[in-house]
Structure 1
Amino acid sequence: MSSPHCVIGIDTGGTYTDAIALDRSSGRVLAGVKTPTTPHDPARAIARSLENVLLASGLDPQKVELVTVSTTLATNALVEDKGAEVGLFVIGHDKRLRIPAADMRFIPGGHKARGVESEPLGMDFLIQGIAAMKGHVDAYAVCAMLAFEDPTHELVAAKAIELMDPRPVFCSHQASTRPGMEERAATAVLNARLLPVMQDFLRSIALSMQRLGLSCPVRIVRGDCQSMDLQDAVRNSSATVASGPAATALFGVHAAKGETALVVDVGGTTTDITLIKDGLPVVREEGMTIGSWRTHVRAVEMYTVGIGGDSLARVENGGLSLGPARVVPLSQIHLHLDGAALETMTRPEDWLGADLCAQCVQLAPGTEPKDDRVLRWLAEHGPATPVRLRQELGLAESSLEKTIARLQAAKQVITCGFTPTDALHVLGRLRLGDARPAMDGARVLAALLRLAPEAFCEHVLEKAHATIAATILTALGNREVGPALARFFNHSGPNELLDITVRVRPRIIGIGAAAPFLLPAVAARLGTDAIFPEHYEVGNALGAALMDTITKE
């Protein structure tokens, strides 16, 4: 029996990279796999996912018609401050712009309405600026006044840069056709900044596909639920910033079947919420805000809260806090460490709560300390809390946090702690790991609050439910009635004059392996239902695989 023609959908999350093999003719899912994400090299996890899904489905690579990828690469690059150092030329606008470019120069020129030149392009100023930036920046961005009506000055500036410094150049008219100088400049800088990161990523995917015998086209999911080929992804990288939430929305469209619904993706690090209205994703046409940058990047309307299955639970000042930090759950340590390291790491009573700390840093197996102070200290002394590392190494808290984040991304250290995943193991609701270290951790933290371990675990889950529910209420409240009235929705104490009860009308569509363990209680709080359609565990990958089918309907 010959293999059906199919599409492979891939979604890279913070914890897992999911892959789906979908038979296009019947709509049948042939296989779905989850592969641990490799944050320091996302393309490596994609290569493993492709290999695993081909094996699981038994597909002949030559029968695969398309690979569609939803990626968090652009988002992670911005969060981790990766990418090119960008020099920005602003033409015909001399007001201050709050854009984090490495260098910024204001040049005479630009256009008025109907493409009338405001003044000639200041070539002398431009050439001086290029000479000053050369050797100090990795890429250039150009934004001219009203370039979306007449891009001549941007094109001339780009050609001058090309002749003087053969570095990548991105012009604002390539990504924006609307007014708003700051938004267009920010969009141009984002694209220039992400250019080398995206080039390396897509080159790695192409090599992996070649090795596996896959010769089909590859398309990347854009934040507005459309797709683009690899060349467009390089030229317009900023369009992929909301790629993950777009795949969430596409799965929601498939599952909602014409209804209005909330799609809630519970990951390891965050919970992402998107809205499906009358069976269609809601897209922000005016452009999304990325951190402090207002841009013209079209994207689905989305809301994110720093709560997931791997969020760190802390007991501080007699109270419980949850997230936004992500750690390896105690119940999952055996998946990350060998036997010797496991023995030193799974005694939470030795460190949990010490120095008012709820997490422990461990050298990852096989890591060579080399010249890094933190790695050398861990190699010599063993696991330690961040507080002890600060004391021993004399590092500032912010400096150590950045160092640990960098070492985590490179898989050189592992940071563990108690999480909602551990609470589910202690309560017997989840059996994906080893419940014994989770129970040890629950005992230590529960004692700090004078609770039984089981009651403490219920408290952790209740905190997660309340935070996700509050985010949904705030998002919908701000959207429908404005922030003033929305504040009443989450007011925990009684009000002397008003008693407001709110029910969410749309159903919740859950995505992610942890969703069934958290979202039913969230839905009950909101007076609605939660459903978990088939293949919800790899829903974003299915959304990516279905993208062309959904967008053509």
Structure 2
Amino acid sequence: MSIVLGIDTGGTYTDAVLYQQEQQAVLAKSKSPTTRGDLAVGIQKSIEALDIKEPGAVAKVVLSTTLATNAIVEGEGRPAGLIIIGEPPKGELPQGEVQRISGRVNVKGKEVIPLDPLEVRAACDALVGKVEAVAIAGMMSVRNAVQELAVKAEVKACCGVPVVCSHELSSKLGFHDRTVTTVLNASLIPIIEGFIQAVEKALKALGITAPIYMVKGDGNLASLAFIREKPIESILSGPAASIIGALALAGTADGIVVDMGGTTTDSGVVRGNTLALSPVGARVGSWQTQVNSVEINTFGLGGDTQIIVEEGDLMLTGQRILPACRGGQTGLTPTDILHLTGEYMKWSVDEAKGAAVAQAEALGVGLEEYHTLAQNKILTTIEDAVLAQYRHHEPEAEPEVGYVARMQGPVDRSENLLKELPIIAIGAPAGAWYGKLGASGEQVILPEHFEVANAVGAACAAVEEQVCAIVRPDEANDGYVAHVAGLCQSFSDKDTAVAWVSQEVETRSLAAARCQGAQSVYAQVFVEEIVEKIGWRERYVQSNVRAVAKATGLQIK
């Protein structure tokens, strides 16, 4: 019997569950306030509340968190250095110590401007003592990473801090977004390391020695060794886990998952048990990254969202405040309204009532009418803002002349998904608010244990690794060149090149899945040939080769 301890550390609460994998059953669950000053305290309290009688029975521990996302949005990343090889990317970059050195690899993967060893050493010396991690980025390193790897070796020898290259985080060409991703990753390394150590401290205190994993932003599982080096992969970890948990608890493969937390409501579409992924990568705050992640729509409505009276009407500001029932002095929240109606009474009803009386007087209504107005305001916001994006919406007209780029996202704007898919509502406040939506005609599922769905999702996550490569013509040598994971290999024959790279991506994806703790692994390879049509003729452009390795279990060490 495999028992998994799932832990989700959010901005407000740390949730924990004991989950029995074979029976897909929640054995115990708990919620404890997240202790930002010392994360280990809140984590330990949430685990202690599970009352685990036999710590040795826990087969593995799986984490999800919004810590990386919050750190980026709030600008709390640690000091990071960036070494740019060749011309810098166009556009703003996260703040940090930046060094630029000579060097260049072209689009074919050929080294056309060599590195200058003296410049490399000087750049390293300039970063010593100023940064806690280093990012390295070269424009065409995804086609040949030889220069990035050479600089990385020098940084490791000289600076003594963690260092990651851009080609190790993304295989996409977009130099600016790849550089942003690498710098943010470097700034997150010390933060996520602190989180991991807090988890390890809490588990040790409770005698739990099971291996630990974390959910990535694409919903797949990763080892701590992987996350320690690439913490950027944990952005949107919490929302991804929530979607997985919602499906598991609802027992369905399709739905619109709506997760109402303390600060925001996150929603996403799932069809055929497949999470819709962002076509361009996760966007966090003002930064576009190249990190694979679930497609999440976020709206500023949560249990702690501020309700005020403005111009004779109730307004939801989108700002998170301390609820009046907990001693807050700056307005009411949906949590306060539930205290007034008796649906949720964890804190002071009198404090909530006092604030509600003041707002009722400002509106010129009685307290009962105020209750009705406030509830209707919240429900209308859910209907008109959170759910409206999934109803029928006419697409913008396409231009008659010029290029048209069609990108398939999670929402097909030509259909009403709310008529086809159920709403699966999760998160602590969801039980009260989404249970009132029946009159609108949508099917709403409030699964058992909805308030800890994120931790359940962490416990249910599985391993999946993907490796991509391309084969392109090499006009200079009258042959073909294959690019995979920063390697560059030449061939005289296209079929030979595709066969070689297919084997390479399969081997690498299987190895990556095993490194994440997978025990039983299989891989599928997909080859897509791109051609350009010129009248009745076709010109070969490139072959896109992709391998996906999946696991049926985790190695318990």
Shorter-normalised TM range? 0.7 to 0.9
1:64: Cα distance to partner? Answer: 0.7
Contact conserved, 1:510 with 1:531, CA < 8 A, in 2? yes
**Which amino acid counterpart does residue 40 of structure 1 have in structure 2?**
G
- Report Cα offsets for 1:275-309 as digits up to 9, x if no partner: 11123211225311111211111111111111111
**Which amino acid counterpart does residue 20 of structure 1 have in structure 2?**
V
| In 2: Cα distance, 1:134 partner to 1:531 partner | 55
Task: Report the counterpart of residue 243 of structure 1 in structure 2.
Answer: 237
Answer with 283-292 or 62-71: which moved more.
283-292
Task: Report the counterpart of residue 391 of structure 1 in structure 2.
Answer: none
Partner SS state of residue 189, structure 1: helix
Task: Report the counterpart of residue 218 of structure 1 in structure 2.
Answer: 212
Partner SS state of residue 328, structure 1: coil
Task: Report the counterpart of residue 289 of structure 2 in structure 1.
Answer: 295
Task: Report the counterpart of residue 437 of structure 1 in structure 2.
Answer: 351
**Which amino acid counterpart does residue 361 of structure 2 have in structure 1?**
A
Q: Map 1:310-329 to 2 at 5 A.
A: 310-329=304-323
Of 29, 43, 48, the residue aligned with 1:51 is: 48
Instruction: Kindly indicate whether residue 166 of structure 2 is the aligned counterpart of residue 169 of structure 1.
Output: no
1:212: Cα distance to partner? Answer: 1.3
Instruction: Kindly indicate whether residue 423 of structure 2 is the aligned counterpart of residue 426 of structure 1.
Output: no
Partner SS state of residue 452, structure 2: helix
- Report Cα offsets for 1:149-176 as digits up to 9, x if no partner: 2111111112222333222212111111
Instruction: Kindly indicate whether residue 441 of structure 2 is the aligned counterpart of residue 447 of structure 1.
Output: no
**Which amino acid counterpart does residue 102 of structure 1 have in structure 2?**
G
Q: Map 1:63-462 to 2 at 5 A.
A: 63-255=57-249, 257-333=251-327, 360=329, 417-462=331-376
Q: Map 1:443-522 to 2 at 5 A.
A: 443-473=357-387, 475-476=389-390, 481-482=394-395, 504-505=418-419, 506-522=421-437
1:196: Cα distance to partner? Answer: 0.4
From the superposition, tell whether residues 483 and 228 of structure 1 become closer, same or farther in structure 2 (CA, over 3 Å): farther
From the superposition, tell whether residues 122 and 471 of structure 1 become closer, same or farther in structure 2 (CA, over 3 Å): farther
Task: Report the counterpart of residue 536 of structure 1 in structure 2.
Answer: 450
**Which amino acid counterpart does residue 306 of structure 1 have in structure 2?**
G
**Which amino acid counterpart does residue 467 of structure 1 have in structure 2?**
T
Task: Report the counterpart of residue 13 of structure 1 in structure 2.
Answer: 10
1:14: Cα distance to partner? Answer: 2.3
Contact conserved, 1:425 with 1:431, CA < 8 A, in 2? yes
| Higher share in helix | 1
- Report Cα offsets for 1:401-453 as digits up to 9, x if no partner: xxxxxxxxxxxxxxx64111111222233333322121111110111121222
| In 2: Cα distance, 1:35 partner to 1:419 partner | 20
1:222: Cα distance to partner? Answer: 0.6
| In 2: Cα distance, 1:301 partner to 1:501 partner | 18
- Report Cα offsets for 1:455-498 as digits up to 9, x if no partner: 223323323223333333454369x754789xxxxxxxxxxxxx
**Which amino acid counterpart does residue 515 of structure 1 have in structure 2?**
A
Partner SS state of residue 433, structure 1: coil
**Which amino acid counterpart does residue 18 of structure 2 have in structure 1?**
A
**Which amino acid counterpart does residue 359 of structure 2 have in structure 1?**
L
Contact conserved, 1:223 with 1:240, CA < 8 A, in 2? yes
Contact conserved, 1:468 with 1:522, CA < 8 A, in 2? no
| In 1: Cα distance, 2:108 partner to 2:334 partner | 58
From the superposition, tell whether residues 502 and 226 of structure 1 become closer, same or farther in structure 2 (CA, over 3 Å): closer
- Report Cα offsets for 1:313-356 as digits up to 9, x if no partner: 122333332242222222234xxxxxxxxxxxxxxxxxxxxxxx
**Which amino acid counterpart does residue 433 of structure 1 have in structure 2?**
W
- Relative to the length of structure 2, the TM-score reads 0.75
| In 1: Cα distance, 2:60 partner to 2:276 partner | 26
Partner SS state of residue 303, structure 2: coil
| In 1: Cα distance, 2:397 partner to 2:228 partner | 41
Partner SS state of residue 322, structure 1: strand
From the superposition, tell whether residues 7 and 94 of structure 1 become closer, same or farther in structure 2 (CA, over 3 Å): closer
From the superposition, tell whether residues 105 and 468 of structure 1 become closer, same or farther in structure 2 (CA, over 3 Å): farther
| In 1: Cα distance, 2:57 partner to 2:439 partner | 45
| In 2: Cα distance, 1:467 partner to 1:235 partner | 41
Partner SS state of residue 141, structure 1: strand
From the superposition, tell whether residues 522 and 297 of structure 1 become closer, same or farther in structure 2 (CA, over 3 Å): farther
| In 2: Cα distance, 1:521 partner to 1:106 partner | 58
| In 1: Cα distance, 2:387 partner to 2:218 partner | 23
From the superposition, tell whether residues 515 and 549 of structure 1 become closer, same or farther in structure 2 (CA, over 3 Å): farther
Structure 2: runs of 5 or more not aligned? 399-413, 465-549, 553-557
| In 1: Cα distance, 2:29 partner to 2:396 partner | 41
| In 2: Cα distance, 1:501 partner to 1:290 partner | 28
| In 2: Cα distance, 1:173 partner to 1:503 partner | 38
Partner SS state of residue 548, structure 1: coil
Task: Report the counterpart of residue 543 of structure 2 in structure 1.
Answer: none
Partner SS state of residue 100, structure 1: coil
From the superposition, tell whether residues 271 and 473 of structure 1 become closer, same or farther in structure 2 (CA, over 3 Å): closer
Structure 1: runs of 5 or more not aligned? 334-358, 361-415, 486-499
| In 1: Cα distance, 2:40 partner to 2:233 partner | 19
**Which amino acid counterpart does residue 293 of structure 1 have in structure 2?**
W
From the superposition, tell whether residues 524 and 122 of structure 1 become closer, same or farther in structure 2 (CA, over 3 Å): farther
Q: Quick one: percent identity of the two aligned structures?
A: 34
Partner SS state of residue 275, structure 1: strand
Partner SS state of residue 504, structure 1: helix
| Higher share in strand | 2
- Relative to the length of structure 1, the TM-score reads 0.76
From the superposition, tell whether residues 522 and 129 of structure 1 become closer, same or farther in structure 2 (CA, over 3 Å): farther
Partner SS state of residue 461, structure 2: helix
Task: Report the counterpart of residue 459 of structure 2 in structure 1.
Answer: 545
Contact conserved, 1:477 with 1:483, CA < 8 A, in 2? no
